[in-house]
């Protein structure tokens, strides 16, 4: 029986259950009040996909379309998250095969080590797992089967009609808000603009998740329209943060979506 700690307290900030990793140099931490925010460690590292270790060097990090989200799986098993993030991407799988061939060894020396807790969060009770490694693999396999079934049944296929309707609705709300603004209905206009931005916010979420088009480029273009043009913020910057959120969901100190201070503290240490 091996003791597994929930990776919410992991030094590398990853999701999943892990017990062994190749020896590596850990990243640095910035403590600037509130939550601990990790400085991205851009030094080369290994990650594992389908039981094979691949070497991620500076060039791979620089050219990775998903940005720094890949560093979340520094020296970890990234099998499930790789197939989830890159479903349908022929380029991603070609790149993976190339990296596997170029990796100097497929069996790096594996050591078991207790990962350092994030400073200031040693007493955070986020829950522990006490299960076997085989049980951990079984849980992951079940989620993989669920993911494949969801895709096979077409539940991830977006509706062009639905998204066109939502975009048109948002544009009509904006037009109505502008009309009311010009005619002195300022408060009503502001409320409608807030509603339009709320609708557009979820649209950029869908497009940045590549929900509608098969082409990532087409989804990015749509996100620029509903994000950069109609809301005035960077869809690219939002996507960078949101990729990390999904690669390290609810990992304290790594998932930026947990940093809700000063309005809301996700862990008691945020109040100190």
Q: Do 39 and 79 reside in the same domain of the chain?
A: yes
d(CA 176, CA 181) in angstroms, rounded, equals 9
Both tokens of 133, joined, read 């490694």
Return contacts of 262-268, CB within 8 angstroms, 24+ apart: 262/34, 266/35, 267/121, 267/124, 267/126, 268/124
Domain count along the chain: 2
99 and 12 within one domain: yes
Handedness of CA 18, 121, 267, 68 (dihedral sign): negative
* Paired tokens of 105: 């060894």
Q: Does one domain contain both 190 and 147?
A: no
Q: End-to-end distance of the chain based on CA atoms, in angstroms?
A: 36
Question: Residues 173, 140: one domain?
Answer: no
42 and 130, same domain (yes or no): yes
Do 142 and 23 have their domain in common? yes
- List the domain range (segments joined by +) for residue 19: 4-154
Give a yes or no: residue 257 inside a domain: no
Per-residue pLDDT of the chain (272 residues; tens, 9 = 90+): 333 233 333 333 333 333 333 333 333 334 334 444 456 677 888 888 888 888 888 888 888 877 778 887 888 888 888 888 887 778 888 888 888 877 755 554 543 333 343 344 444 444 455 667 677 778 878 888 898 898 889 888 889 999 999 999 999 999 999 999 999 999 999 999 999 999 999 999 999 888 888 888 899 999 999 999 999 988 888 887 888 888 777 777 677 777 777 888 777 777 76
User: Tokens 């009503």, residue?
Assistant: 188
Considering the domain architecture, whether residues 140 and 170 belong to the same structural domain is answered as: no
Domain contains 267: no
């Amino acid at each position: 029986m091996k003791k597994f700690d929930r990776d919410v307290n992991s030094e590398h900030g990853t999701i999943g259950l892990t017990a062994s990793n190749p020896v590596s140099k850990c990243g640095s931490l910035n403590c600037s009040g509130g939550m601990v925010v990790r400085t991205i460690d851009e030094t080369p590292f290994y990650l594992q996909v389908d039981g094979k270790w691949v070497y991620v060097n500076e060039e791979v990090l620089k050219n990775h379309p998903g940005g720094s989200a890949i560093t979340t799986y520094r020296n970890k098993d990234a099998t499930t998250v790789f197939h989830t993030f890159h479903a349908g991407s022929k380029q991603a799988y070609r790149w993976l095969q190339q990296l596997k061939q170029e990796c100097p060894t497929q069996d790096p020396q594996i050591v078991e080590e207790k990962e350092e807790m994030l400073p200031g969060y040693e007493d955070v009770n986020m829950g522990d797992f006490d299960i076997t490694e085989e049980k951990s693999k079984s849980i992951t396999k079940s989620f993989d089967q669920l993911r494949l079934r969801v895709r096979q049944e077409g539940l991830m296929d977006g509706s062009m009609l639905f998204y066109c309707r939502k975009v048109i609705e948002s544009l009509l709300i904006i037009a109505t808000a502008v009309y009311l603004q010009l005619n002195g209905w300022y408060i009503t206009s502001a409320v409608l603009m807030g509603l339009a931005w709320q609708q557009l916010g979820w649209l950029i979420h869908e497009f940045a998740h590549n929900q509608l088009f098969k082409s990532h480029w087409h989804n990015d273009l749509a996100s620029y329209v509903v994000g950069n043009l109609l809301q005035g913020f960077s869809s690219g910057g939002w996507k960078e943060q949101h990729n990390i959120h999904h690669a390290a969901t609810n990992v304290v100190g790594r998932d930026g979506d947990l940093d809700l201070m000063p309005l809301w503290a996700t862990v008691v240490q945020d109040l100190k």
